[in-house]
Amino acid sequence: MTKHWKYLKSVLRHKWYCMEACFKNPSWLCEVWILGIIHDWSKFRPSEWFPYAEYFYGFYGVNWSQKKHGGCGDEIKLHKKISYCFDKAWLLHQHRNKHHWQYWVLREDDGGTKLLDMPDRYILEIVADWYAAGMAIAKRPEISPWYEQNKSRIMLSDRTRKILETVIKNFDERK
């Protein structure tokens, strides 16, 4: 199976679970039903598609560091290029999609950082995204445990964090 076919299946599985989360929460429908449908469409753009497919399903894959290789300089250069292209695609994805918290972090010219408030609809979409990632990867929704483990690294405004944590709690109670 080619890396592109594997990646397509992965993206579609993730999108399916995201739509499921958006549609099965009735109070969300007026806010995010369209976001559930168009979620992560940017992953189909060549600037994201090719680096993602190569990084996740190409010859080296995510576990390249665990692969036994002879330390060939050309292999290492290729891996660095694949990693760089993926990092660039991931940055593009974050800045194209408002449901990523990184979209709302403003790096100022003086080196400071401002945390902008996320609109509510994107807070709902980020929870749906995290649910979808858990379902697509681990086959179980693990929003609360994942969030608790990672929240110290997630930069959010106070308002956004308060709403996000309430949404996660309510989402978990609905399972």
Query: How far, in Å, CA of 56 to CA of 81, rounded?
Result: 14
Q: Could you report the per-residue pLDDT of 16-66, keeping only the tens digit for each? A: 999 888 887 766 666 678 888 889 999 999 999 999 999 998 865 544 444
pLDDT for position 77? 80
Q: Is pLDDT above 90 for 7?
A: yes
Q: Which two tokens stand for residue 136?
A: 């697509």
Q: Say how many CA atoms lie within 13 Å of 119 toward its Cβ.
A: 8
Both tokens of 51, joined, read: 């680096």
For 129, the token pair is: 């995204």
- Residue matched to tokens 């559930």: 36
Q: Are 18 and 132 in contact (CB under 8 A)?
A: yes
Residues in the chain: 175
Per-residue pLDDT at 88: 96
- Residue 118: which H helix or E strand, with range? none
- The structure tokens listed for 24 are 């099965």
